[in-house]
Structure 1
């Protein structure tokens, strides 16, 4: 006797096998290698002890600034930042907000879909040079000089030009020497653009570089290559070295610019409590590091820790899971590390519940205020102090 139940069971099994075979044969967008971690995340004790120092702030420009990622300031107290819709902004000392320019095309859809970022632009590193011009590292559109008053843009170095025959794909961190005017910057990947940053982190490749650009000679040099998603950089007070964040590896490098070790690099902080983004000098000479994603055992090990040794699993997940779904795995926890001159952790600031913010990209102190950046959040968190 014919059994409809058996028929549907067999049909379901055939369908599942067909889908599984299709997923297996579908090429993966990433080509990861196995990675063994240095160890479990460090304990939340000593200078990493949990506190609520990041909760004593407020949000500015809710719904107006979407992803203010990096900051710089002029002598008049104006602060400058770029947002996910490709715009550059000036924040006045009275907290007024003025649009300076669009890095790319001015489309109504800019900021709504990451697919349009190559057209709209995405300013990441923002600094003022010695002549008072804004230097902007746009992830897609290259290094620019922008007049902070008129908004006029001058292209210094296009992504297509690149360096050493390799185009840029993901310009990110930026720093400028006050002594020489040399611009230091990072290209986080020669393969993945900013909108595919999650694939970059999951793949855990070494396709990033630290570079320099001399505006006088218009020459670009590769200082370090084979880096794991190089991100934020910061000059030491004497400008004898740079600290550099390798985000996907969760570590900090020091690159020597002067002295007997000039041109060499070393790891100064490894197996970090989270994945570092930008690094900035504090108002008292230490370094502040924004942690974009903490590595907490709650109760399982962090997701990226779990999948790190298994390239086959990574390839399968990259084929199956939409990039936006990974946001569900990120803890809503804000964390800033304070580092000494040798990269040692000397303190930390926390917001365990994410009341004010989370996923911090930049920590910029200016005139007694601390600005907390992010890559995607639709507001600007600030901490106030008595020194203004």
Structure 2
């Protein structure tokens, strides 16, 4: 009896020590996260993305954004936009860069005295102003999933004015600020918030200038990149943010456990399981949806 009691005490002590170690070694200070439920008005699942033609397969490592130069060459990087004389590129480590024939120039490496940790996507307005997203001010590209687990908004939307060399924070406390796009009339910006499954609209015109509202929410996946279509609608790439273990995001204990183990993070991360692209009208309604529901041909 005494031996059994001692064994149980040993197990309890070991469990407590293990739990304390997890909490103290965890890299996150977290909140629970209720992953949104997809809108009931979605189009049915299809396999249209399984018909795509892949370019540069086996030559590119984790391509995120593409741009075609004046000579028709396809270029890929994390986030970028073409302009006369070169490219504007988001580098997750160095910040906002200009890449041209003369080499690479760092345009923005710090904002308000703090180093840019994770510049993500950029778009140029007709007046030359550059709007770019910072996915997280706390985590970097190699450990981006910790931002999801922590479930605290560390993202930003930044404006850089090349004429004055001034940088300003347009929006703060965004939930993993990702893709950025300008409307056809350039009267508003759309910015993707990945782990809230929604996109925000930030007004640039005089009447509503500075106001923010929801452009679309309850998307069927986590929004990544966004691009303006010729007709004024938007194409948004979506990915599966987590595997079937949604319960992890509602439990602080499980989130600390996952955050402390790279293997568990890889297991929970659902990015490479399927792919989806939606075409969203200017009024925020989904027009078309293309899927690869099981990641047979393409994943995001």
Residue 342 of structure 1: how far off its partner (Å): 2.2
Alpha-carbon deviation of 1:327? Answer: 5.4
What is the RMSD computed on CA atoms of the aligned residues?
2.6
Question: 2: distance between equivalents of 1:271 and 1:308?
Answer: 17
- Report the alpha carbon displacement of residue 307 of structure 1 after superposing the two structures with TM: 3.2
1:342 is aligned to 2:283: yes
Tell me how far apart the structure 1 counterparts of residues 75 and 270 of structure 2 sit (CA, whole Å).
Answer: 31
- Residue 269 of structure 2 corresponds to residue 316 of structure 1: no
Residue of structure 2 equivalent to 1:57: 52
- Equivalent residues of 1:274, 1:295 under 8 A apart: no
Question: Kindly tell me: are residues 49 and 226 of structure 1, through their superposed partners in 2, closer, same or farther at Cα, counting changes over 3 Å?
Answer: same
Cα deviation per residue 1:264-321 (whole Å; 9 max; x = unaligned)? Answer: 111121222110001001243310111121679xxxxx534x2333333322331245
Change (3 A) 1:321 1:24: farther
Task: Tell me which residue corresponds to 2:245.
Answer: 303
Change (3 A) 1:199 1:172: same
1:73 to 64, 68, 80: 68
Task: Work out which of the residue numbers 351, 370, 373 in structure 1 matches 2:292.
Answer: 351
1:295–1:201: structure 2 CA closer, same or farther, 3 Å change rule? closer
The question of whether the paired residues in 2 share the 8 Å contact of 1:41 and 1:295 is answered with no
Q: Which has the higher contact order (CA 8 A, sep 6+)?
A: 1
Which of the residues 151, 154, 161 maps onto 1:204?
Answer: 151
Contact 1:252 1:343 in 2 (8 A): no
Q: For 1:234 and 1:143, how far apart are their aligned partners in 2?
A: 16
3-state SS of 1:174 partner: strand
TM-score computed with the length of structure 1 as normaliser: 0.70
In the alignment, structure 1 residue 18 sits paired with structure 2 residue 1: no
- Normalised by the size of structure 2, how large is the TM-score? 0.89
Residues 47-106 of structure 1: CA distance to partner in whole angstroms, max 9, x if unpaired?
521112111123333321111110112343222112xxxxxxxxxxxxxxxxxxxxxxxx
State the Cα distance separating 1:13 from its structure 2 match. Answer: 7.1
Deviation at 1:128, TM superposition (A): 0.9
**Contact 2:245/2:268 (CA < 8 Å) preserved in 1?**
no
TM-aligned CA deviation for residue 34 of structure 1: 3.1
2:122 corresponding residue in structure 1: 174
1:211·1:222 contact (CA, 8 Å) conserved in 2?
yes
Q: Does the 8 Å contact 2:194/2:222 carry over to 1?
A: yes
Q: CA deviation at 1:181?
A: 1.0
Task: Give 3-state SS (helix, strand or coil) of 1:322's partner.
Answer: helix
Query: What is residue 31 of structure 2 aligned with on the other side?
Result: 33
Tell whether 2:151 aligns with 1:234: no
Q: In the alignment, is the contact (CA less than 8 A) between 2:95 and 2:117 conserved in 1? A: no
Tell whether the 8 Å contact from 1:273 to 1:294 is kept in structure 2 after alignment: no
Which residue in the other structure is 1:103 paired with? none
Is 1:288 matched up with 2:235?
yes
Shift of 1:256: 0.6
Alpha-carbon distance change, 343 to 135 in structure 1, aligned in 2, over 3 angstroms: same
Structure 1 spans left out of the alignment, 5+ residues: 1-5, 83-123, 297-301, 360-388
On the 8 A contact 1:58/1:356 being kept in 2, the answer is no
Partner of 2:170: 223
CA contact (8 A) 1:269 1:344 kept: yes
The verdict on how the C-alpha distance between 1:24 and 1:320 changes in structure 2, with shifts beyond 3 A counting, is farther
